[in-house]
Amino acid sequence: MTELLADMRFRLSAASEWTDEGCLINLSGEDVPFLLSENGEMLDAFEVILFQIYGRGFDREHRFVCDAEGFRQSRKAELHAMARFAAQNVRKNGRPFTFGKLNATERRVIHLALQPETDLSTESIGEGKERRLQVRLK
């Protein structure tokens, strides 16, 4: 990752560690604001690039996770709050709740957050960029 960042002329450094999710790469430096703009799209792009280059040998449950300034943890907390809201809404109204656009990692976080709920089910519906996450009563 360090070589990739240098080749792209980013003023960033990378530190990595293994976690239960996979290889966590923490990025720091002057260009962090570029990584965090547009809701972290560049972090997502780096994850895709790393997976394409190195990730084919990973187990399905392991992945590359790129982060900067705790963005991923903040977003994860936000997604858990969204999951709780959706669960309350479905229980109250009895109708399915469909989230707006979320990337695959974000949908996975909500799936896992609601997995213990015995009265609810989650399902990704649609194709490609139109894929959405839906929560409904079982």
CATH classification of the domain holding 28: 3.30.300.20
Res 119: pLDDT: 97
Res 132: pLDDT: 96
Instruction: Let me know whether 56 and 108 are in one domain.
Output: no
At residue 18, φ and ψ (nearest 5 deg) are -90, 135
- Going 138 to 83 to 102 to 111, the CA torsion angle's sign is negative
CATH code assigned at 133: 3.30.1370.50
Instruction: Let me know whether 34 and 91 are in one domain.
Output: no
Smallest CA-to-CA distance from 50 within 3, 12, 10 is with 3
Residue 2, amino acid: T
Distance CA 89, CA 112 (A): 18
pLDDT mean for each 10 residues of the chain (138 residues): 89 92 91 92 90 76 87 94 98 97 89 96 92 96
Residue 116 lies in domain: 73-137
Per the structure, how many domains does the chain have? 2
> pTM, whole model, 2 decimals?
0.79
Task: Answer with the one of 69, 99, 123 that is the final residue of a domain.
Answer: 69
Task: Answer with the one of 69, 100, 127 that is the final residue of a domain.
Answer: 69
Residues composing the chain = 138
Task: Answer with the one of 35, 69, 103 that is the final residue of a domain.
Answer: 69
Distance CA 121, CA 64 (A): 27
Res 129: pLDDT: 83
Instruction: Let me know whether 48 and 32 are in one domain.
Output: yes
Answer for the pair 75, 33: CB distance below 8 angstroms, yes or no: no
Answer for the pair 68, 28: CB distance below 8 angstroms, yes or no: yes
Q: C-alpha distances in angstroms, 10 versus 5, 26, 41, 71, 106?
A: 5, 14, 16, 19, 26
Res 54: pLDDT: 81
